[in-house]
Amino acid sequence: MSTSEIVPQALEGERIDRVVAVIGGFTRSDAALAVDNGKVTIDGQVVTSRSRRVHLGNEIVVDATPTVVVVTLEPDSSIRFEVVFEDADVLVVNKPPGLVVHPGTGTVKGTLVHGLLARYPDLAALAVGDQDIRPGIVHRLDKGTSGLLMVGRTPEAVASLVKQLAARSVERRYVALAWGRFSARAGLIDAPVGRSDSDPTRMAVSASGREARTRYEVTHQYEHPEATALVACRLETGRTHQIRVHLAAIGHPVVGDTAYGGAKRTIPSPRVFLHAATLGFTHPVTGERLSFTSEVPKDLAAVLSTLS
């Protein structure tokens, strides 16, 4: 199979092996192999180096077929997570850091979904259509983010939770440790978020992005070893990396966030300092308003213990 693409602005200056991976749906190892085997050309010339940089307008032709990765939803009882609420319709899970929520590119097993299926086999009935690889999942947390996540156990519950998210009636509050001193103790960041023009794997504030709103309140200010603030953030929308992008955009990246400028040696953090601490929603069947809280986990609490 041959794939042909013109290099867009977003991939200007990138390595050819990475570009092949992005435009062709290849793994990085398959992309590198395609280059090594002379299966990639730039403007008609065979590429001989994986590190060759591409430029806007170059025509990339890949004469290779990506490896097909089959995702299976085999239950996995080795996946560890805490369930803080369950009934016949809804689950609320406290997700540990480092756990991917559902299968996707680069992750085909060992996800929260695989663990949920081992504990709640009835979720398998939801693995149809749009829910094929994420049965019951209505929202996500990044791999490195810990905290509360709701899961629907019936088609009706899933539909209700999705509707509540769309109506912005779900309460989602996060705790973040951000660099610097905020000029205001509370505020609203109202800025659209979309794919970065310079790096399609990252998000950015962009005029062409989707509406994104984050309310924040500084709950504690630290000065040593460097100025940081503990911030409570409430999502009004749920864009990818929204809190991380928004706080970075106003000059206060999240501590430990290597993607958005928040990693510094002065305050080492084992991961992005972001925890989904509060989750509130209306029960899909009973109509009762439910609210749950989760304490900052030990790894992040250890970071706070070094601050003053």
Question: Are the C-beta atoms of residues 24 and 31 closer than 8 Å to each other?
Answer: yes
Residue with tokens 């609320």: 92
- Measured in degrees and rounded to the nearest 5, phi and psi for residue 249 equal -65, -30
Residue positions annotated with a catalytic role: 142
Dist. CA 150–CA 137, nearest whole Å:
7
Nearest to 50 by CA among 65, 66, 60, 36: 36
Question: Are the C-beta atoms of residues 243 and 145 closer than 8 Å to each other?
Answer: no
Dist. CA 81–CA 265, nearest whole Å:
30
Dist. CA 175–CA 232, nearest whole Å:
5
Tally the C-alpha atoms within 13 A of residue 189's C-alpha that lie toward its C-beta: 26
Question: Are the C-beta atoms of residues 193 and 245 closer than 8 Å to each other?
Answer: yes
Question: Are the C-beta atoms of residues 178 and 231 closer than 8 Å to each other?
Answer: yes
